[in-house]
Structure 1
Amino acid sequence: MDDEFNVTYITFGGHVEVDKYRYVYFVIMFIVYVLIICSNSTIVYLIWVHKNLHEPMYIFIAALLLISVLSTAIYPKLLIDFLSEKQIISYSACLFQFHVFYSLGGSEFLLLAVMAYDRYVSICKPLKYPTIMTKTTVSIFLVLAWVLPACQIAVPAGLSANTKLCNFILKGVFCNNTVYKLQCVISKARFIRDMIILVNVALVPVLFILFTYTRIFLITYQNGREVRKKAAQTCLPHLIVLVNLSCLCVYDVIIVGLEPVFPEIVHLIMTLQIVLYHPLFNPIMYGVKMKEISKHLKRLFCQAKMK
Structure 2
Amino acid sequence: MMENVSVVTMFTLSGLKFTYVQRMTIFLLTLLWYIIILLSNFTMIVVIVIDKKLHKPMYIFLCNLCINAVYGSVGFYPKFLVDLLSSHVISYAGCMLQGYVIHSSSCCDFSILALMAFDRYVAICRPLVYHSFMSKRRVSLFVFFSWFIPLFCMFMNTAVLLGRKLCGSHINKVYCVNWMVTNLACSPPTASGIVTAFNIGLYFGHFLFICWSYLYLVKTCISSTDMWKKFMQTCLPHLICLITFTVTVLLDLFYMRFGSAALSQHLQNVMSMTFLLVTPVVNPLIYGLNLTSIRNRMLSILYTKKKIGIF
* TM-score, shorter chain, exceeding 0.5: yes
Map 1:1-307; keep pairs closer than 5 Å. Answer: 1=2, 8-17=9-18, 19-73=20-74, 74-84=76-86, 86-176=87-177, 177-186=179-188, 190-200=192-202, 202-222=203-223, 224-256=224-256, 257-258=258-259, 260-306=261-307, 307=309
Q: Where does structure 1 lack aligned partners over 5 or more consecutive residues? A: none
Q: Where does structure 2 lack aligned partners over 5 or more consecutive residues? A: none
Deviation at 1:268, TM superposition (A): 2.2
Aligned-pair identity in percent equals: 31
Q: TM-score, normalised by structure 1?
A: 0.92
Cα distance in 2, alignment partners of residues 10 and 233 from structure 1: 47
Cα distance in 1, alignment partners of residues 49 and 19 from structure 2: 41
SS of the aligned residue for 1:128 comes to helix
Deviation at 1:185, TM superposition (A): 3.6
Deviation at 1:186, TM superposition (A): 3.1
Deviations 1:257-280 (A, max 9, x none): 325121122222333323111111
Cα distance in 1, alignment partners of residues 117 and 105 from structure 2: 18
- Report if the CA contact (8 A) 1:92-1:161 is conserved: no
- Report if the CA contact (8 A) 1:43-1:283 is conserved: yes
Q: What do you get for the CA RMSD once the two structures are aligned?
A: 2.1
- Report if the CA contact (8 A) 1:14-1:170 is conserved: no
SS of the aligned residue for 1:186 comes to coil
Deviations 1:176-235 (A, max 9, x none): 2333332234356633431221221x211111111112222222234x311221122111
Amino acid corresponding to residue 237 of structure 2 in structure 1: P
Amino acid corresponding to residue 110 of structure 1 in structure 2: S
Cα distance in 1, alignment partners of residues 303 and 259 from structure 2: 47
Q: TM-score, normalised by structure 2?
A: 0.91
Deviation at 1:43, TM superposition (A): 1.0
Cα distance change of structure 1 residues 263 and 7 upon mapping to structure 2, 3 Å threshold: closer
SS of the aligned residue for 1:160 comes to coil
Amino acid corresponding to residue 238 of structure 1 in structure 2: H
- Report if the CA contact (8 A) 2:61-2:116 is conserved: yes
Amino acid corresponding to residue 38 of structure 2 in structure 1: I
- Report if the CA contact (8 A) 2:14-2:171 is conserved: yes
- Report if the CA contact (8 A) 1:16-1:265 is conserved: no
